[in-house]
Amino acid sequence: MIRPLTCALLVCAAFTSCSLPGKKEKEEPNPFGPTGIPPQLRAKNAGGTPISPGGNISPQSLRPAITPDEQIVFTDPDNPDASLPELSTLLKTPDKGPWEESETIARQRASREGKPLLIWFTDSNTSPMCKALDAELFNTPKFESWAKEKLIRLKVDANSSRKFENMTLGEQEDMNIRRKTYVTDMKKRYNVLGHPTLLVLSPGGEVIGRYRGYKRGQADFTWGQLKQGETVASNSYQSWRKDLEKKGYREWQDTKGRKVFAKLQRYHEGEVVFLEPDGTRSKTNESRLSAGDRAWIAQQKTLRGIQ
């Protein structure tokens, strides 16, 4: 079922109006003028036709915005969409192990896929309980099957020393120093004092569960805790998602079935620009979207008299 309009389509200046015939939209003044681009980034004679939020949602209900447009700095003010990454590139996940090593990537995946994030603080070199947890739970087929469906996983390993291929000795030392700094910062941020420590975060980033330590033979108990945390985090996500849907966000899907939760920020001659809740912007052509999403765009164009 196609959802009712919650966020206006953004179109290029080629369209003189996005209003329904006979109706005039009341636009909310932009602090940076019609283009929405800060003065210091604005090119001379820059133009544009901004489209204000519409539908049956009052402007007040749309504030505060998740990521205000004025906080987005474009690398090219004359063509703010020129350097945007393709959505297909962002959604493509490399073929690697089940545990992410970058918090940024893990958080983005959790937000896009709507899955809770499990963070495992470990010391694979010196902690016997970390090794036991890995062998008795994380490395079992049943847990792997469940976690692949339910979670995004991030491993923060205090054993930062590693050999990297195609790097000089100096480059390897520099990389290991960076990894060590990253681990230290992560432990401070999440107040982690020992290993192993497990955290379950909602897709929106809220810490739902914190589980310290592990004892041999308690794999089922630990798994039960994680299942409970996943359930609570998923419920929290649904509430968070509903709030964002009121602000114009919806789930989009490409022709390969990959999904992203975002709002349509701009549309022009088949090219669409998305804005995710964390501020990530990307673009793609509507031909690369699912049939349902293309039908939704066509409906919005029809409602506005756009050919």
Region of poorest pLDDT, from 133-147, 167-181, 233-247: 167-181
Query: What are the domain boundaries of the chain?
Result: 96-243
Q: Is the pLDDT of residue 75 over 50?
A: no
CA 89 to chain centroid, in Å, comes to 13
pLDDT in tens, 105-120: 898 888 888 899 999 9
Which residues neighbour 225 within 8 Å (Cβ) at sequence distance 6 or greater? Answer: 198, 209, 211
Which residues neighbour 288 within 8 Å (Cβ) at sequence distance 6 or greater? Answer: 87, 88, 254, 255
Is the Cα torsion angle 15, 16, 20, 21 positive or negative in sign? negative
Tell me what pLDDT residue 173 has: 76
Please, what CATH class does the domain formed by 96-243 belong to?
alpha beta
Closest CA to 62 of 242, 246, 273: 246
Phi first, then psi, for residue 135 (nearest 5°) are -70, -40
Tell me what pLDDT residue 156 has: 94
Q: Higher model confidence: residue 272 or residue 82?
A: 272
CA distance 62 to 299: 22
pLDDT in tens, 217-238: 999 999 999 999 999 998 888 8
- Please state, in angstroms and as integers, the Cα–Cα distance from residue 14 to each residue in 10, 49, 81, 286, following that order: 11, 9, 16, 18
CA 297 to chain centroid, in Å, comes to 22
HEC secondary structure over 58-108? CHHHHCCCCCCHHHCCCCCCCCCCCCCCEHHHHHCCCCCCCEECCHHHHHH
CA distance 212 to 196: 6
Q: Is the pLDDT of residue 290 over 70?
A: yes
Q: Is the pLDDT of residue 45 over 70?
A: no
pLDDT in tens, 157-194: 998 666 666 777 777 677 778 888 889 999 999 999 99
Tell me what pLDDT residue 305 has: 80
Secondary structure letter of residue 279 according to DSSP: S
Whose tokens are 């966020």? That residue is: 7
CA distance 83 to 169: 34
